[in-house]
Amino acid sequence: MLSQEPAKVYLARRRAARKFFESIPDSQVDLADWVREDHYAEHFQLSVEGAIQCGSVACLAGWLFIMPEYRAWCLQRGHVAATPNALKEWLGIEHRINEAHDVFNSPFVCRYSGLYDDPNAGNLSDKEIAEERLTLLINEAIEAARGGA
């Protein structure tokens, strides 16, 4: 976990992300689908309601890109669009450059990351897998907060 802010800040953000993500319909979550880099700015402008109503399908990161609290944080820092690195910073996830299973790229985008999924992941929906991953991030932050980080 990053240590730029107290662990309790990341814990609150991760819990907010899970609560937000729970509101997204299962049918609109696809861990194989990604917002391409040339469409970040366009996607960032969508409202949550607009994205759901128009039938947008996205991975966990794609949905978190339009989460109001995250968008406000980005705008405060002068980010004109959501990016994977900004999302990792907001959630307190370390950037692991050149790592085959980056904690952001695989768990948020790929259905089978091999890092977090239990052997029964094939029986879970993409949304259930994503929620499981958010729970793991929350548990990590709980442990860090207990340690006084």
**Across 17-36, average pLDDT:** 81
| Global pTM value | 0.78
The answer to whether residue 1 is domain-embedded is no
Position 118 scores a pLDDT of 56
| Number of structural domains the chain divides into | 1
The answer to whether residue 2 is domain-embedded is no
The whole domain housing 64 covers 7-146
Which residue type, as a one-letter code, is found at position 45? Q
**Across 99-119, average pLDDT:** 49
- Could you read off the pLDDT of 37-70 as tens digits, one per residue? 555 556 556 677 777 777 777 778 888 888 999 9
Proportion of the chain above pLDDT 70, given as a percent: 64
Q: Rounded CA gap, 44 and 25, in Å?
A: 19
Which residue type, as a one-letter code, is found at position 126? D
The answer to whether residue 76 is domain-embedded is yes
Sign of the Cα pseudo-torsion (107, 16, 146, 139, in order): negative
Nearest CA among 77, 83, 92 for reference residue 16: 92
Position 8 scores a pLDDT of 92
Sorted by sequence, the CB contacts under 8 Å of residue 120 that are 6+ apart come out as none
Place of tokens 């790929």: 110
